[in-house]
């Protein structure tokens, strides 16, 4: 690029030591802290409830199937609304959507914390899902706008991914600690001071955005179709184990019909909610497909792994949460210290593949965890291997996905990326937990004792999870390699 000489009267170009440059740098990184705080709160809450489920069931008298709705009531609106609110964030302003989401989520958390009946808790959890979707859907779009320069963007994504990944595992620890030391109500009430501080900081720190305006893409029929389709999809996945196969198949067909109607609507609408050209980016489409499989593996590990530690190794709630602490510590440190450097040196594609190899290997090792196993020998090493793999893969995958979207579609691309996380997590949980339970029941029916039957059920789930991770590796190799090369060639040609 040709340099343009400055005239003697030109204002000085800001440098890193110039006050205006320093102010902009401070503002951007302060904004990242606020975005990470809001994201951490929603991610923590999505996981913190897992360990507290037995206490909630005992206190409010949930049945087995009814207890699942403490989780499902959150996941269905959260997963169903991410795409819609991501696009609305582009139209009305992402800051407005983010701060409104924080307010809704915090208020709903208080309602969850004071709930004294099943209906109140389930309804408040659904409202939490709405607020969580509003907060989460626009974050990545705001992040890539704040940090357009590749190296800084890689560093910012690494920080954001570290907070998100560590928050997921940290939720398991906090859930066990708060439930055992105080009571389950505090897993929700703790969000009140965090939410207030995060909202005040967001209002003060985040730069205002006007958005494109609702008239640029307020396709209300399309919004109704895609939201219904996504909510039904999540409902089908999370509730598959409680219905017969015929009902599940009919609901899946209905969801497919709604998606088809949405696609046809977007192809013909004058102002579509979702521009279908977004899916023309192989980077964006391929990265989201890989993420579904990778998150299915990791979410399955988190859930089935917690059950293995509790039911096979005999750990208490607090001990189980403590057992998972090395994973978020490792993920956070590796992402913050090495992620941006390795991506800058080797490129996101190679780093992603290396991470997926580690995840696959760790899950394969975990599938050998026996009934008489030990935490130090059979659980901790595979967990750390998967933590290292996730620390490498997640920032690289995020960068690849968001680089495939135009700036005006940042909120929508962010919402899509978060949607595939929810779908992947729900799918992994439904498939792997069903496999583990059914295999354990079969072994018990054959006369196998409870402990070895339970361990073998979890082993099967871990083996299947390793195959899912291997499929993610193959898909990334097949789809993202071509896109990576094409992008590099385009940058060289343009430079």
In a shared domain, residues 103 and 188:
yes
Number of domains within the chain: 2
Inform me whether the pLDDT recorded for 166 exceeds 70.
Answer: no
pLDDT digits (tens, 9 = 90+) for 35-77: 888 888 887 776 778 777 778 888 888 776 677 778 778 877 8
Spatial distance between the Cα atoms of 343 and 397, rounded to a whole number of angstroms: 11
In a shared domain, residues 302 and 420:
yes
pLDDT at position 264 is 87
User: Is 5 within the bounds of a domain?
Assistant: no
Among the ranges given (305-309, 321-325, 362-366), the one the predictor scored with the smallest mean pLDDT: 321-325
Inform me whether the pLDDT recorded for 323 exceeds 80.
Answer: yes
Residue 243's pLDDT band (cuts 50, 70, 90): low
In a shared domain, residues 447 and 338:
yes
pLDDT at position 70 is 83
pLDDT at position 199 is 92
Task: Provide mean pLDDT across the span 83-88.
Answer: 79
Beta strands in 305-409 (DSSP E): none
In a shared domain, residues 290 and 399:
yes
In a shared domain, residues 35 and 118:
yes
Spatial distance between the Cα atoms of 30 and 37, rounded to a whole number of angstroms: 11
**Contact of 215 with 271, CB cutoff 8 Å:** yes
Please choose, from the candidates 106, 98, 118, the residue with its C-alpha nearest in 3D space to the C-alpha of residue 35. Answer: 98
In a shared domain, residues 172 and 311:
no
Spatial distance between the Cα atoms of 349 and 225, rounded to a whole number of angstroms: 34
Domain range for 295 is 278-482
In a shared domain, residues 151 and 72:
yes
Residue 196's pLDDT band (cuts 50, 70, 90): very high
In a shared domain, residues 64 and 166:
yes
Please choose, from the candidates 432, 297, 436, 290, the residue with its C-alpha nearest in 3D space to the C-alpha of residue 360. Answer: 297
| Residue 481 CB burial class (10 angstroms; 0-12, 13-18, ≥19) | middle
**Contact of 367 with 311, CB cutoff 8 Å:** no
In a shared domain, residues 300 and 416:
yes
Place of tokens 């299947």: 464
User: Is 256 within the bounds of a domain?
Assistant: no
- Given 169, 193, 208, the domain boundary residue is 208
User: Is 368 within the bounds of a domain?
Assistant: yes
pLDDT digits (tens, 9 = 90+) for 405-462: 666 566 667 667 777 887 788 778 778 887 888 898 899 999 999 999 999 999 999 9
Inform me whether the pLDDT recorded for 494 exceeds 70.
Answer: no
In a shared domain, residues 286 and 200:
no
State whether residue 316 is helix, strand or coil: coil
User: Is 254 within the bounds of a domain?
Assistant: no
| Residue 407 CB burial class (10 angstroms; 0-12, 13-18, ≥19) | exposed
Spatial distance between the Cα atoms of 477 and 223, rounded to a whole number of angstroms: 34
pLDDT at position 155 is 79
- Given 208, 227, 254, the domain boundary residue is 208
Residues recorded for the chain: 495
Contacts of residue 410, Cβ cutoff 8 Å, sequence gap at least 6:
90, 94, 140, 141, 142, 144, 145, 402
Task: Provide mean pLDDT across the span 143-151.
Answer: 79
Spatial distance between the Cα atoms of 370 and 385, rounded to a whole number of angstroms: 18
pLDDT at position 338 is 81
CATH number at residue 90: 1.20.1250.20
User: Is 334 within the bounds of a domain?
Assistant: yes
User: Is 439 within the bounds of a domain?
Assistant: yes
Work out the number of other CB atoms within 10 angstroms of the CB of residue 153. 21
Spatial distance between the Cα atoms of 221 and 278, rounded to a whole number of angstroms: 19
User: Is 317 within the bounds of a domain?
Assistant: yes
- Given 208, 229, 254, the domain boundary residue is 208
| Joined tokens for residue 17 | 């030591």
C-alpha pair distances (Å), 181 with each of 46, 56, 192: 20, 15, 19
In a shared domain, residues 173 and 318:
no
Please tell me which residue, 61 or 362, carries the higher pLDDT value: 362
Please tell me which residue, 26 or 425, carries the higher pLDDT value: 425
Residue 111's pLDDT band (cuts 50, 70, 90): very high
In a shared domain, residues 189 and 334:
no
Longest dimension (CA), the chain: 90
Give the rounded distance of the alpha carbon of 210 from its chain centre: 27
Question: What is the tally of helices (H) and strands (E) in the chain?
Answer: 18, 0
pLDDT at position 215 is 59
The structure's pTM equals 0.73
User: Is 245 within the bounds of a domain?
Assistant: no
């Amino acid at each position: 690029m040709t340099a343009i000489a400055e005239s003697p009267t030109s204002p000085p170009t800001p440098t890193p030591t110039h006050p205006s440059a320093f102010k902009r740098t401070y503002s951007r990184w302060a904004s990242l802290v606020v975005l990470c705080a809001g994201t951490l709160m929603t991610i923590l809450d999505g996981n913190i409830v897992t360990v507290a489920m037995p206490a909630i069931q005992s206190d409010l008298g949930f049945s087995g199937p009814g207890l699942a709705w403490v989780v499902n009531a959150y996941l269905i609106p959260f997963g169903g609304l991410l795409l819609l609110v991501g696009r609305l964030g582009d139209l009305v302003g992402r800051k407005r959507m983010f701060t409104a989401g924080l307010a809704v989520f915090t208020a709903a958390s208080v309602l969850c914390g004071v709930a004294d009946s099943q209906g109140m808790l389930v309804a408040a959890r659904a409202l939490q899902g709405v607020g969580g979707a509003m907060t989460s859907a626009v974050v990545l779009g705001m992040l890539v706008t704040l940090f357009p320069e590749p190296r800084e963007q890689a560093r910012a994504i690494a920080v954001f991914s570290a907070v998100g990944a560590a928050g997921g595992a940290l939720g398991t620890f906090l859930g066990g600690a708060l439930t055992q030391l105080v009571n389950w109500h505090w897993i929700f009430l703790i969000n009140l001071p965090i939410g207030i501080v995060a909202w005040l900081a967001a209002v003060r720190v985040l730069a205002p955005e006007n958005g494109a305006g609702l008239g640029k893409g307020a396709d209300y029929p399309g919004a109704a179709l895609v939201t219904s389709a996504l909510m039904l999809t999540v409902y089908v996945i999370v509730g598959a184990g409680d219905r017969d196969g015929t009902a599940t198949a009919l609901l899946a067909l209905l969801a497919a019909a709604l998606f088809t109607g949405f696609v046809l609507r977007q192809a013909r609408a004058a102002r579509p909610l979702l521009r279908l050209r977004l899916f023309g980016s192989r980077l964006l489409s391929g990265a989201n497909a890989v993420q579904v499989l990778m998150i299915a593996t990791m979410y399955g590990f988190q859930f089935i792994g917690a059950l293995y530690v509790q039911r096979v190794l005999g750990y208490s709630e607090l001990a189980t949460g403590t057992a998972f602490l090395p994973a978020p510590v490792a993920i956070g440190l590796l992402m913050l210290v090495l992620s941006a450097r390795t991506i800058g040196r080797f490129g996101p594609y190679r780093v992603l593949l290396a991470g997926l190899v580690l995840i696959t290997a760790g899950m394969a090792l975990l599938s050998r965890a026996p009934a008489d196993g030990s935490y130090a020998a059979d659980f901790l090493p595979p967990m750390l291997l998967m933590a290292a793999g996730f620390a490498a893969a997640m920032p690289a995958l995020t960068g690849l996905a968001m680089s495939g979207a135009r700036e005006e579609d940042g909120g929508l691309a962010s919402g899509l990326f978060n949607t595939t996380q929810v779908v992947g997590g729900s799918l992994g949980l439904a498939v792997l937990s069903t496999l583990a339970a059914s295999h354990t029941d079969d072994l018990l029916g054959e006369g196998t004792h409870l402990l070895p039957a339970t361990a073998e059920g979890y082993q099967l789930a871990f083996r299947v999870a390793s195959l899912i991770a291997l499929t993610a590796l193959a898909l990334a190799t097949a789809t993202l390699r071509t896109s990576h090369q094409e992008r590099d060639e385009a940058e060289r040609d343009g430079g």
